[in-house]
Structure 1
């Protein structure tokens, strides 16, 4: 870990910012980096990357990647000696995505009675519901639920568990989440208990773990991860799905959409729908 907490901010045109974000995703030393990318000034075509490296090595690797894009203006800010993650989360408003309302403890009094209310505490895990990829997955899932149900759901790279919990809260009898990060699995199980949801989460490095295989084939697979592992897992996700089953894929930038889609269409998937939020893309695919 780094002794001090830093935020690295990079600003520039959309095309350059998206290319830099792709490079961050594809650099091994920064592939687990927590960052966001969004439009800051539409009239001036200014997009912004906010990154929060957690080790000196990750910080150095990120700076090296960003140095490769001279059109970006990069600044580094030292964060105050405080629980900045908790402070940031306390300032996040609740999120509405279709029937789902995602909130933290600080907003527990704002949950409407007419929505599926999901209290999600992030801790060190990804997936508060505010990120464009998580919102995209929830919106896509909400739209699918209007026409069909999903008795068996798998969430690959579950983070806080919000997607599997959403499935369990809307009628899925089996909702399994898996993550390679043990703290995320612990946090996801705690969130399932908070929401009284029948979702379970396992620490596993792939879809061949018997605790994952045992409930296959699934009607729906969520995978809100990064573009390279999405591509690498295309065959495993196909194997986990029943014929005609659906996959909701996110964690990818619009600039990476074509490569991810090509990997899945080559496995026999067909595109059902795509959703865009900020620079992020969500794909809904059907296994043939």
Structure 2
């Protein structure tokens, strides 16, 4: 059983350190902290449980959030062993402070989703007309918001639609706003539509060539503990295996690279 964590930035180091100590008092398993983009929450929770079932000596502690927030936590000294970012920019940000070797792991796609039933449309103009009212979008400092903004700018619609946009810190917040009925439409990853809890509808799928590649990068972080680093490397290797691939693909992610 993992000790899942949701960390307020200013208390991150204290919280993680105290949590690790609390778990260690009653648990002799080796613990690794895995920080992943919020859009990976559902599938990584499944994979965490599966891996721990195969490796009872390891306790994975999952930390999810916007990739930019996670990168900032790591740069500020958070004891993270494996980082999976929803874009390369945040991984590069970490690389400026730590020596890491990242690898491309997954792909995804951007969609405009609706909280009410309607038929998908073929153009952005039709989608913006059908999506009456405000539109949810991630902040431009996090990958999902950067992809959406770049697409709207590229289509020449950013200034026209900007007043209707409501920013959120990560994609899961956009999804929750849609599911609660607070918003009628929003830009999210298409993998959210594959969630078992999904109640949203696809409204429009932006042209992939205009959005650009959405690639998730992963890297093991070295804190000087070869034992912990070994477990983190083993977990990342397992994420490229047949069982993990099946879960990723069922969730709608594309895998980069061959099986290991």
Fold shared, TM-score > 0.5 on shorter chain: no
Q: Which has the higher contact order (CA 8 A, sep 6+)?
A: 2
More strand by share: 1
More helix by share: 2
TM range (shorter): 0.3 to 0.5
TM-score between the two structures when normalised by the length of structure 1: 0.30
